[in-house]
Amino acid sequence: MQLSDTGESRVNGYLFVLERSLKTFLPIDVVRDAVREIESHLRERIGATDASPNERVALEQILSELGPPLRVAQAYSAERTIDEAVATGRFVATVRAVSQLAASTLGGFSSSRAGCSSVIWFRSPSSPSQS
Amino acid sequence: MSHETWQEQLRRGSLDLAILLTVSPGPRYGLAIIQHLEAFTDLVVSEGTIYPILGRLTREGLLDATWVEGEAAHARKYYRLTKAGAQRLDQMKREWREFAGKITRLIDDAERHDHAAQ
């Protein structure tokens, strides 16, 4: 599918929101790489879609399968924070990881109620944090 | 815990293993990994959440990522298993089989008792 100017604007708008969200907690080179990868995903999906009489519907379907940009950014944030928590075993990072998971997933919400240790076990069974 | 919560925890806990298995035969780029996971499992709820996991596995040294230009109209980022990733995958496969085997034995035992009671 070849995008019209309107379709291109929609894609660029999605990437703009994603980039702005990621910039709040990731180094700029990591943000650029992440946005490039998400754009590559979108271009691949769009390229593989047959020309549609209703471009807007087809494009919204692709974007919805990818997920809203804020949710994607939240997933990057959660993975980074969990990384930090597991690597350092620091209490603050662990609590932050739990609260981010709690905000973004049902599993995380449940884990936050059950306590931090269940999330650490869940993410990294081999982590020394579990002991 | 609700059933949905349990399912979500199971899904999230299995994704690392599923991703490492997906790239174990050879390098794949992000969308190809997602499509492979979708073909074999129900683990991909939202495509955009797979990329951060790929990033974390790369930072952990389990995957190696390389941008490849010229193969398609846009560059693709390929992921391949590192030596450390292959070792971790072997460990995870062993533990998964052991874990699944024990749970299956538990289920079989419970069902035997159910049948005996009826």
Return d(Cα B16, Cα B10) in angstroms, integer.
11
Q: What is the DSSP letter of A105?
A: -
pLDDT digits (tens, 9 = 90+) for A53-101: 789 999 999 999 999 999 999 999 999 887 777 777 665 655 665 565 5
Return d(Cα A107, Cα A121) in angstroms, integer.
13
Give, in order, the Cα–Cα distances in Å from A93 to each of A21, A112, A131, B53: 20, 14, 17, 18
pLDDT score of A124: 42
What's the mean pLDDT when you consider all of chain B? Answer: 95
Which of A44, A66, A71 shows the shortest C-beta gap to B72? A44
Residue the block writes with tokens 């590192």: B82
What's the mean pLDDT when you consider all of chain A? Answer: 78
Contact B74, A40 (CB under 8 A): yes
pTM, whole model, 2 decimals?
A: 0.80
pLDDT digits (tens, 9 = 90+) for B82-117: 999 999 999 999 999 999 999 999 999 999 998 888
CA distance B114 to chain A (A): 31
Complex ipTM: 0.88
Substitution target in A37, A43, A100 with the highest count of B β-carbons within 10 Å is A37
- Comparison of pLDDT for A105 and B23, the residue scoring more: B23
Q: Which residues pair with B78 in a beta bridge?
A: B29, B66
Q: Does B70 contact chain A (CB < 8 Å)?
A: no
- Comparison of pLDDT for A102 and B98, the residue scoring more: B98
Cβ–Cβ pairs < 8 A, chains A and B: 92
- Comparison of pLDDT for B117 and B76, the residue scoring more: B76
DSSP assignment of chain B equals --HHHHHHHHHHHHHHHHHHHHHSSS-EEHHHHHHHHHHH-S--S-GGGHHHHHHHHHHTTSEEEEEE-SSSSS-EEEEEE-HHHHHHHHHHHHHHHHHHHHHHHHHHHHHHHHHHH-
